[in-house]
Amino acid sequence: MTAEPLVRFQRVQKTYDGEHLVVRQLDLDIHRGEFLSLLGPSGSGKTTTLMMLAGFESPTSGDILLDGKQITGVPPHKRNFGMVFQNYALFPHLSVGQNVAYPLTVRKVPKDEQQRRVQRALDMVQLRGMTDRLPGQLSGGQQQRVALARALVFEPQLVLMDEPLGALDKQLREHMQIELKDLHRQLGVTFVYVTHDQGEALTMSDRVAVFNEGVIQQLDTVDGLYEKPSNRFVAGFVGDNTVLKGQLARGGEQAGMTLPDGRVLHGLNVGGAAAGAAVEACIRPERVVLHRSPAAQDAPGANMLAAQVSRVIYFGDHLRLLCGVGDGQAEATVKLPLDGLDGAAAPQPGEAVVLEFPMAHVRIYAP
């Protein structure tokens, strides 16, 4: 028997002007203890969904249930949710300890209990000894931790985060991603996290809901999302892709796509497109296999295309090769680990190569 979700959105819609739906017919279950990210471009509806869950926005229609009970009319301060914003929203005139204690003061928790909980929350985010400092005396990363401690101090059943790492530099942001995920594992609290950064979502989440135009395009585990994107939008938004255009030569689950130069590439027909339809084939750069011998193309049953290296980009642990395919109108990206060269010289621009596209990793979509 499936456990009852902590939060359930049922047929939720949101419009601000009565005409354009920012969120369309949203059905979403959030499980207890999971780290769920809402991922999508600006205007996709992810932040509006979080604000409706927090209580700062009300659905135009539909229901939001918490533990099976309707919370649509419950004000934010009575929902027992922790909230972390991108700008941290700390009180500049209050010390770190006072900022963290604020939710407890509002809830009229006794002073001695406040002190114990504040210290525990600051220990969680590794800010022991910072109690008396003002926010202006802290770095951006430290301020972010204070905001997180404040969200955790009253032991909420749900922590909501709206782009909380967006103001940090790349190195600190990546460090905080690891710390947030570790903290989530330790506490077992449900995290709902809004971001437009697909790398961030893949790094931290148990599941990711990809939003576009007010609709969840795919809700999946991070590996399912990356390896098996359900439509062309998800394939393009999450991770890098080589995209080749053509016409579906035959339908069915395993299909052939005719490229502009007449060659056929085989892959999985994800959207069930019919023969003759204009389609696009997508494959991750690390799934493309590079062969430097032209004879490789003659292997029976091989899903291979002749290509020419046009550019080589050094990434430290791997090379990115940009390769012109066929008539040169299409370009394929190949991720080549440096240890995969086996001592051979790196490919050079102008070199003729053969690219293998394993059929299990080629996904064909109607655009």
Domain positions in the chain are 7-232, 240-365
% residues pLDDT > 70 (the chain): 96
Average pLDDT of the chain, as a whole number: 90
Express each pLDDT in 198-236 by its tens digit: 999 999 999 999 999 999 999 999 999 999 999 999 999
C-alpha 73/C-alpha 59 separation (Å) is 10
* pLDDT at residue 327, rounded to an integer: 67
Question: For the domain bounded by 7-232, which CATH number is listed?
Answer: 3.40.50.300
286 falls in which pLDDT band (50, 70, 90)?
very high
* pLDDT at residue 254, rounded to an integer: 86
The better pLDDT of the pair 159, 298 is held by 159
| 289 Ramachandran zone, left/alpha/beta (phi>0; psi -120 to 50) | beta
For residue 297, CA distances in Å to 300, 302, 327, 350 come to 8, 7, 17, 18
Other CB atoms within 10 Å distance of the CB of residue 23: 25
Mean pLDDT confidence for 256-281: 90
Long-range contacts of 106-114 (CB under 8 A, 24+ apart): 106/77, 107/154, 109/154
The better pLDDT of the pair 187, 39 is held by 39
298 falls in which pLDDT band (50, 70, 90)?
low
Q: Token digits for 160?
A: 């909501």
Mean pLDDT confidence for 268-280: 90
* pLDDT at residue 253, rounded to an integer: 84
The better pLDDT of the pair 251, 316 is held by 316
Query: For residue 1, is pLDDT > 50?
Result: no
Question: For the domain bounded by 240-365, which CATH number is listed?
Answer: 2.40.50.100
